[in-house]
Amino acid sequence: MENSVKRMKELVQILNDAARAYYQESREIMTNFEYDKLYDELLALEKESGTVLAGSPTVNVGYEVLSSLPKEAHPSKMLSLDKTKDREELAAWLGEQRGVLSWKLDGLTIVLTYEGGELVKAVTRGNGQIGEVVTQNVKVFANVPVNIAYKGRLVLRGEALIKYSDFEKINAEIEDADAKYKNPRNLCSGSVRQLNSRITAERRVHFYAFSLVSTEPLDKADDGSENAVPSVQDKINLSDGGAGAVYFGNSRLAQFEWLAQQGFDVVEHVSVSAENIKEAIEEFAQKVKKSDLPSDGLVLTYDDIEYGYSLGSTSKFPRDSIAFKWKDETAETTLLEIEWSASRTGLINPVAIFDPVDIEGSTVSRASVHNVSIVKELELGIGDTISVYKANMIIPQIAENLTRSGSLEIPGKCPVCGEHTEIRSENGVETLVCVNADCLAKQIKWFTLFVSRDAMNIEGLSEATIEKLIAMRLIAEPADLFCVENYKNEITNMEGFGEKSFANLVTSVERARNTTAARLLYSLGIPGIGTANANLISRACRNDWERIKNITREELIEIDGIGSIMADNYRAFFDNPEKRRIAEDIYKQVIIEREFEADGEENSDIAGRTFVVTGSLSYFKNRDELKELITKLGGKVAGSVSKKTDYLINNDIASGSSKNKSAKENGVPIITEEQFIAEILKDTQLLRD
């Protein structure tokens, strides 16, 4: 018993850490296969011992709300669903009843309330007991009806999600590979929980209804007539259920039909019995491979509403529904090699190469292993027998290592530049990093930063194109980009480039020649010198490039927001003859604007004050947008907190971050984004615009 409890404690910690990383931090520390395996082990131990520990993911429902959105308690606790991967078990669960089988969509659950035919409230599932009010954002979803024909009170649930096709379009617009979103679910969650509904609208979030919670008809309409629910069939009438709920002909199918008539997109569903449910599951299994909607399984619900209510619920699961998760088809194969792929950030990511196997109708021969921690956890070695699967029937993953030789050597040299690597640990996750600052992979990132919107803003140069130009030796340093017109033949013969693309590129390069000192300074990629600090230094030097490159360490430290480490990095760059030459070569190709004073209206609560912005934002699209607004209103934005800082803007006031600690030590007020808008921006015209 003692050993069981010890193991349960370990599993609770591991599973909660994995869930927190995936749902709240958009990173993955274990595969879905591994998570499910450990979850099932914990569940078995709990059943065997009769003990359930506090904090166990088998009893906790959802996560605590962390944002600054308004919060609201649900009338009753929203439970999660019990699950199975066994088709026979699903048929046995249904028994002699008829059921409704539908997608289990992988997004964010939302509860909608309509009164008088108008959408009046939308609340997220949150932790199952308290959700966040996101009404304004839901009103800009791509397919949610703001008004419906039914004028009584209607409460329903559904899943908000971003389609794969829209997700790919959004990611395609992000040039930096490391800044791309990890998956549609996390992007959807962040989009729905914005404080700025404009951003939500841009993300094309869709809503699919999956449950009618309740309806309450008005006694009389304005014209004195009865305001009844329109019938879907003659037998479907409004009547009072045993649990006080209102339902339609005692049929879930009929509810779906009626919701569709009101203008809602309802989750795809079919009527099933124990006799045909396996066939229905197989049809969904074929569809999931081509579906544009993120899904992680199916949901089976009794069609007979009253029967479902009569079964009640456990402390975590309702008994009228059950989730079916795809039983991952696995195949054994041999690990041939681990390909170490260097990224623009210096991270070197492991990719498993194995003998090709057929899984879920396609041939796979490679799978990401994500990081060094997972390599060690799987005890990988070349020649090992591994089993592989497709997560959610799509993404190839290693399920387990059957031989676990543990003989794989972590490379001590970067596969790109051949310089030394090192293993670094952050939040318990080990990664392999190239330490060579001049690695070609990092140069590509530097070039990408150089052409980015906040730097020189040269359109038409993706990372892939830059990589080709470097490989063809057409460019060796950023200044060479201003001479691309000399290589028309070579560039127009590149894959994906023609006469028109080349002409557009040349036009973009010429337009980029007119720039600001701050943009040029930021484009150099000096450690610690982001857009905010580049603006601070440029303003302090009145946009004079000679002063910018020759400013002393002491003068830098005098600038509020520039610390000693930044100043050292800055001087190290300009004191390096080669890097100074590179900067001078760029300067010779551009024309610097000399305006000094900030444009736009000034706000008396902002002008002359210094702000530091950190953490994720909800109202503003990103931190750069907020920083730009502060600058326009006459304020200053620093990169670090000091005694000269007036405010630290951080939505997570209670966090133990270094900036929060520094703010408290220096007596700097920490305010949320909402407080900044309400108390400092106030009636600013720019905000209204």
**What are the catalytic residues?**
104
Contacts of range 363-366, beta carbons closer than 8 Å, 24 or more positions apart: 364/388, 364/390, 364/396, 366/339, 366/396
Report d(CA 207, CA 228) in Å as an integer.
Answer: 26
Report d(CA 208, CA 156) in Å as an integer.
Answer: 10
- Cβ atoms within 10 Å of 530's Cβ, excluding its own: 17
Report d(CA 293, CA 265) in Å as an integer.
Answer: 13
* Residues near 535 by beta carbon (within 8 Å), at least 6 away in sequence: 518, 631, 637
Tokens 């595969």 map to which residue?
Answer: 31
Looking at 292-394, which runs of residues are DSSP E strands?
295-302, 321-324, 331-342, 347-359, 362-368, 385-391
- Phi then psi for 120, rounded to 5 degrees? -110, -20
Q: Helices (H), strands (E): how many in the chain?
A: 25, 26
Report d(CA 35, CA 32) in Å as an integer.
Answer: 5
Report d(CA 170, CA 566) in Å as an integer.
Answer: 33
Report d(CA 662, CA 647) in Å as an integer.
Answer: 12
Beta partners for residue 347, in sequence order? 433
Q: Are 668 and 641 in contact (CB under 8 A)?
A: yes
Q: Is 384 left (phi over 0), alpha (psi -120 to 50) or beta?
A: beta
Element containing residue 377 per DSSP (H, E): helix 372-378
How far apart, in Å, are the Cα atoms of 125 and each of 55, 210, 499?
A: 19, 14, 52
Q: Are 194 and 619 in contact (CB under 8 A)?
A: yes
The residue type at 177: A
Q: Is 156 strand, coil or helix?
A: strand
Report d(CA 47, CA 4) in Å as an integer.
Answer: 11
For residues 46-71, b (16+ Cβ closer than 10 Å) or e, as one string? beeeeebbeebbbebbbeebebbbee
- Phi then psi for 64, rounded to 5 degrees? -65, 145
Report d(CA 675, CA 90) in Å as an integer.
Answer: 51
Closest CA to 157 of 63, 264, 232, 34: 264
* Greatest Cα-to-Cα distance within the chain, rounded to the nearest angstrom: 87
Contacts of range 665-673, beta carbons closer than 8 Å, 24 or more positions apart: 666/641, 666/642, 667/643, 668/641, 668/643, 671/647, 672/68, 673/68, 673/195, 673/617, 673/618, 673/619, 673/620, 673/626, 673/649
Q: Are 376 and 354 in contact (CB under 8 A)?
A: no
The helix-helix angle for 184-192 and 164-172 (nearest 10°) equals: 80
Q: Are 340 and 432 in contact (CB under 8 A)?
A: yes
